[in-house]
Amino acid sequence: AQTVTQSQPEMSVQEAETVTLSCTYDTSESDYYLFWYKQPPSRQMILVIRQEAYKQQNATENRFSVNFQKAAKSFSLKISDSQLGDAAMYFCAVGGATNKLIFGTGTLLAVQP
Amino acid sequence: GAGVSQSPSNKVTEKGKDVELRCDPISGHTALYWYRQSLGQGLEFLIYFQGNSAPDKSGLPSDRFSAERTGGSVSTLTIQRTQQEDSAVYLCASRSSGRPYNEQFFGPGTRLTVL
């Protein structure tokens, strides 16, 4: 079975500052994948970043990067130079050979001007 | 190109009625998923279609829920005898063939309200 835990229901960050969203997971699969999705009020789920578990190098996409600690089963998201448009609900998810994604309960990020 | 589309965007129904939710995936995507997002919760997997293979129905919460995918494209999620606890946003996603690592593209969802 796979589970995902996001322990921060809400976070707040000042514009241009850096914020880190936490995520821990559990999976019995040896080959799995991790994702961060963003969901603004429009409800549209948007992929932010993804990581294959066998890769040791942390994924980076522009201002977004992850800290993947495989042994600790931790997959945190760092947003640098936060912008007002980053305000949204962020979901961590794990997927594997079963193809379905298991999502956490989300972190609501507010960006203060 | 066009993304994943879903209809209707909102649906209000009375308890006990049947509803059908539609999903049009991205053209050429062989994998299609349905998820449910209840208020304040994450997304809950419901069902997965891959090409002509038998669907993975392991996430369907009861036998009142069913889904089909015709011609490997459009999918319909049907909820029979709706209950108030079925109220949620139902999201559809599609993915191109290949590894599950490939991105799932989501539609805007259908918000279902059962009175």
Matching residue, tokens 């931790």:
A74
State the pLDDT confidence band at B100, using cuts at 50, 70 and 90: low
Best to test chain A binding among B9, B56, B94, B104 (most A CBs inside 10 Å): B104
What's the CA gap between B100 and B81, in Å, rounded? Answer: 34
Write out pLDDT tens, residues B34-86.
Answer: 999 998 778 999 999 988 889 999 999 999 999 999 887 999 999 999 999 99
Output the pLDDT for position B80.
98
Strands A24-26 and A3-5: antiparallel
Q: Residue B34: closest CA among chain A residues belongs to which residue?
A: A100
What's the CA gap between A89 and A107, in Å, rounded? Answer: 5
Write out pLDDT tens, residues A78-110.
Answer: 999 999 999 999 999 999 877 789 999 999 999
What's the CA gap between B24 and A36, in Å, rounded? Answer: 24
Report the 10 Å Cβ neighbour count for B82: 21
In chain A, which residues touch B (CB < 8 A)?
4, 6, 33, 37, 42-47, 50, 52, 91, 93, 95-106
Output the pLDDT for position B1.
56
Output the pLDDT for position B87.
97
Residue stretches of chain A with pLDDT short of 70: none
Strands B19-24 and B5-7: antiparallel
Q: Is A29 helix (H, G, I), strand (E, B) or coil?
A: coil
Residues of A in contact with B93 (CB under 8 A): 45
Phi-psi region of B58 (alpha: psi -120 to 50; beta: other; left: phi over 0): alpha
What's the CA gap between A50 and A59, in Å, rounded? Answer: 7
Write out pLDDT tens, residues B73-89.
Answer: 999 999 999 999 999 99
State the pLDDT confidence band at B99, using cuts at 50, 70 and 90: low
Identity of the residue in A45, A95, A106 whose CB atom sits nearest the CB atom of B106: A45
- At B87, list the tokens: 């109220």
Q: Is B104 within 8 Å of A47 when comparing Cβ atoms?
A: yes
